[in-house]
Amino acid sequence: MRDNLAPSVSLDFLDGYLFRLLQEIAAQEGLEKSGLLNYYGSRIANRIGGLIEYEEGLARYLLNEYPGYRVVHAGMGVGTLACALACNGMTVAGVEAYGERVRSARRLRSALVEVWPEVADRYQIVEGSYPQALMGIPKAGWRPWRRSSPANPWLDVNAILVFTNVVSTWSDETQAAIFDSMPRFGEVILDLRLFGIQRDDDTERLALFDRIAESARSAERLPGLSSGSHFARFMFGSVAAVLSAAASAALDLVTVAGDLLVVMA
Ligand SMILES: C[S@@+](CC[C@H](N)C(=O)[O-])C[C@H]1O[C@@H](n2cnc3c(N)ncnc32)[C@H](O)[C@@H]1O
């Protein structure tokens, strides 16, 4: 059973661990004060688990397809998906606007760090509204040769922007800012049914798909990711940008090697 806890951390194990933590938060603070509300309350009452089906499907997909990438989960709720990714080696920023949920997300993160200390460096909680909240994060380890030098570590071709269930009352301005932010990432993955408004009709989902695909390098729908979900993937990072990112990474390596030589000398 020790394998459940070792990297990679079993998603089944995490499902139970997160479920118990959600139960504790609900019991100690109540659904309202903790921000769990009925959305997470139903996971507890109906004994669904800490991870809902599409989160597990998406976590498996991201872990298989994007090793080494960073993930920004916009509207992450209490961050159950972020926990699954960070425990399994991905670096994640979870952006959440609802203060009570952010507090509960911090509790989950702390409980994770107690078991897996390495998660502390891999999982950052950003409180506020996406995209504005993400824009102000300073970039650590700035490299002057990076012409594409992002304003922060999250907005670049090695990061993936993810939206899961974000049916929300976005103003036109927020919605426009969200669409405008997409090309700053390497890829964007979202559920076409649950983005901004609920789109139960496939014609509506296709219209959203076409709207985003218009500015992307390529796009595809991901019907196999999780039954009942309508995920799609949009690729923005141009080939040139990906190559330039690889060149930057190589220069970073040279720098690190240089630093090591200096230390050894
Ligand atoms: C229904 S919950 C779902 C949480 C999570 N995405 C999931 O799939 O379980 C949607 C969350 O998105 C958050 N949200 C919506 N728009 C947001 C935005 N622009 N920036 C940050 N959080 C946002 C809401 O506060 C809410 O907690």
Residues ≥6 apart with Cβ < 8 Å to 197: 167
The reply to whether ligand 1 has any atom less than 6 angstroms from the CB of 26 is: no
Domain boundaries of the chain, sorted by first residue:
52-236
Structure token pair of residue 92: 């994640």
Token reading at 105: 């997300």
Give the C-alpha separation, 82 to 94, whole Å.
7
Q: What is the pLDDT of residues 46-89, one digit of tens each?
A: 999 999 999 999 999 999 999 878 999 999 999 999 999 999 99
**What's the rounded mean pLDDT across residues 129-134?**
94
Most informative mutation of 31, 96, 134 for ligand 1 (most atoms within 8 A of CB): 96
pLDDT higher than threshold 80 for residue 228: yes
**Smallest CA separation from ligand 1 atom 16, residue:** 75
Residues 6 or more apart whose Cβ sits within 8 Å of residue 167: 194, 195, 196, 197, 198
Would you state the pLDDT for residue 44?
Answer: 96
Tokens 């060149």, residue located: 247
- Closest ligand 1 atom number to CA of residue 165: 8
Q: Are 184 and 156 in contact (CB under 8 A)?
A: yes
Residue found by looking up tokens 């049914």 in the block:
193
Contact 74 CB / ligand 1 (< 6 Å): yes
Q: Tell me, what's the pLDDT at 263?
A: 47
Q: Which of 153, 154, 170, 173 is nearest to 162 (CA)?
A: 154
Spacing, Cα 166 to ligand 1 middle (Å): 5
For residues 164 and 55, the answer to whether their CB atoms sit within 8 Å is: yes
Cα 37 to averaged position of ligand 1 atoms, centre (Å) = 13
User: Per-residue pLDDT for 248 more than 60?
Assistant: no
For position 226, what pLDDT does the model report? 94
Average pLDDT (82-111) is 97
pTM value is 0.88
Q: Please, where are the H alpha helices in 46-166?
A: 53-65, 80-86, 99-115, 119-122, 132-135
Q: State the distance from the centre of ligand 1 to the C-alpha of 77, rounded, in angstroms.
A: 5
| Strand order, beta sheet including 187-191 | 123-127, 91-96, 70-74, 159-163, 187-191, 231-235, 218-221
Cβ of 50 less than 6 Å from ligand 1: no
Is the shortest distance between the CB of 101 and ligand 1 below 6 Å? yes
pLDDT at residue 138, rounded to an integer: 58
Q: How far is the CA of 74 from the centre of ligand 1 (A)?
A: 7
User: CB of 75 closer than 6 A to ligand 1?
Assistant: yes
Kindly give the pairing relationship between strand 194-198 and strand 231-235. Answer: unpaired
- Four-way CATH pick for 52-236: 3.40.50.150, 3.30.1550.10, 3.40.50.300, 3.40.50.410: 3.40.50.150
Of 193 and 245, the one with more pLDDT = 193
Residue minimizing CA distance to atom 23 of ligand 1:
75
Nearest to 12 by CA among 43, 55, 42: 55
How far is ligand 1, taken at its centre, from the CA of residue 96, in Å?
A: 6
CA angle 213, 180, 242 (to 5 degrees): 65
Q: Which atom of ligand 1 is nearest to the CA of 166?
A: 10
pLDDT at 154: 87
Give the best-scoring range by mean pLDDT among 130-144, 157-171, 238-252: 157-171
Q: Is it the case that residue 237 has pLDDT exceeding 90?
A: no
Residue where the block lists tokens 């809902």: 52
Span 1-52, pLDDT tens digits: 777 887 789 999 999 999 999 999 999 999 999 999 999 999 999 999 999 9
Q: Answer yes or no: is the C-beta of 129 below 6 A from any ligand 1 atom.
A: yes
List the single range of 1-15, 117-131, 197-211, 235-249 with lowest mean pLDDT: 235-249
Q: Whose CA is nearest to atom 27 of ligand 1?
A: 77
Q: What is the pLDDT of residue 141?
A: 45
Say if residues 230 and 248 touch (Cβ distance below 8 Å).
no
